[in-house]
Amino acid sequence: MKRMLPFIVALMLAGCTSLSGSSQPVTHYVLTDPGPAIHLPNSHPGVLLLREMDAPAFYQEPGLAYSREPGTRSHYEFAQWAELPGKRLTWLLRQRLETAGVFAVVAPMGSGVVGDYQLNTRLIDFYHDASVQPGSAFLLIEAELVRRSRGELMARQTFLAQVPVASYDAAGAASAMDSAATKVIDEITVWLAKVTG
């Protein structure tokens, strides 16, 4: 029992510190693609495999990102994404490509589907530029299309969106980031149609 006493005291102290004071609840935002969705009339007969989006270590955290000074990034303390941005953006992009009909089939990598093409994407930056109030949402994604049969890089391009933020807070940032995601997903969809057309 004497050996356990320091451990019990430590647990009690930890409990006291976590219960003292009022803590603000964390708000979880769901990254969405408000659309409207583009539908392209002519679909490519091939099968596109979509690899999950690469992301820097900073964006493998759920917190919404912001910047008040050039060259810096921070996370909002009480605002998080419900799903990691890279993973969610991959899902939104796949939904959009399926709706647009650019390819006959769009499937995630690892699904067991044999693909003709592969789309690789990288999340370079995704944050609320809060250097001037109320700021803007900034999204930068790099995409490359590969023809799998030849291991050939067909095209590579970066896509940038900057959308004004309505209010100088996490809610305003999340809404503008939704719109930025839609803008970039639109541009990637149209780009793929041109590259394979």
CA distance 195 to 197: 6
DSSP 78-101: EEEESS-HHHHHHHHHHHHHHHHT
Ramachandran quadrant class, 174 (left: phi over 0; alpha: psi -120 to 50; beta: rest): alpha
pLDDT of residue 75: 97
Q: Which domains does the chain have, with CATH numbers?
A: 5-196 (3.40.50.10610)
The pTM assigned to this predicted structure is 0.85
Decide: 96 and 185 in contact? Cβ < 8 Å: yes
Decide: 83 and 31 in contact? Cβ < 8 Å: yes
Which residues fall within 8 angstroms of residue 179, CB to CB, at 6 or more apart?
A: 34, 137, 161, 163
pLDDT class for 44, splitting at 50, 70, 90?
confident
Least confident of 2-11, 16-25, 110-119, 133-142: 2-11
